[in-house]
């Protein structure tokens, strides 16, 4: 897919973001003291640990196959459109069909 960010690009973006946030903390006079890992002892280089945490968060989105993301978005869009159309129909008819299908309104008791 054209324009998809590579893993390396994403890591560089995360590094730049972490560095920029660190600079904002510096400017505001905020000292960053982080453990090397959650619950661990303080890192000897909290600044680098802070920047690295942005890269670690970005890794959750690396190696995602763009076509699969596109396909899932398209599928969810179609499902949302179907539900929206059902809602328009329910509203026009006043019959509560969506509520019954979703288990909310059980109809006349």
Mark whether 58 and 83 lie in a shared domain.
no
Question: Are 33 and 42 spatial neighbours (Cβ–Cβ below 8 Å)?
Answer: yes
Q: Which domain holds residue 52?
A: 1-63
Whether the Cβ atoms of residue 97 and residue 86 lie closer than 8 Å to each other: yes
Alpha-carbon distance of 47 to 45, in angstroms, equals: 5
Taking only the tens place, the pLDDT of each residue in 20-37 is 999 999 999 998 888 877
Instruction: Give pLDDT tens digits for 79-92.
Output: 888 888 776 665 65
Statement to judge: residues 9 and 52 lie in one domain: yes
pTM: 0.55
Quick one: pLDDT band at residue 98, thresholds 50, 70, 90?
A: low
How many Å apart are CA 95 and CA 30, to the nearest integer? 58
Asked if residue 25 and residue 52 are part of one domain, the reply reads yes
What is the domain count for the chain?
A: 2
Looking at the structure, do residues 1 and 54 belong to the same domain, yes or no? yes
Considering the domain architecture, whether residues 82 and 107 belong to the same structural domain is answered as: yes
Same domain? For 73 and 50 the reply is: no
CA gap 49, 36 in Å, rounded: 6
For residues 46 and 77, membership in a common domain is answered with no
Q: How far is residue 28 from each of residues 9, 25, 32, 42, measured CA to CA in Å? A: 29, 5, 11, 22
């Amino acid at each position: 897919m054209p324009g998809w960010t590579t893993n390396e690009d994403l890591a560089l973006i995360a590094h730049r973001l972490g560095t920029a946030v660190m600079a904002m903390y510096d400017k505001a006079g905020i000292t960053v003291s982080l453990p090397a890992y959650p619950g661990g002892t303080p890192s000897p280089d909290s600044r680098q640990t802070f920047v690295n945490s942005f890269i670690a968060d970005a890794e959750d989105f690396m190696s995602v196959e763009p076509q699969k993301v596109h396909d899932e978005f398209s599928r969810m869009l179609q499902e949302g459109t179907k539900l929206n159309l059902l809602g328009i129909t329910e509203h026009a008819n006043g019959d509560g069909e969506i509520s019954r299908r979703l288990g909310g309104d059980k109809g006349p008791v």
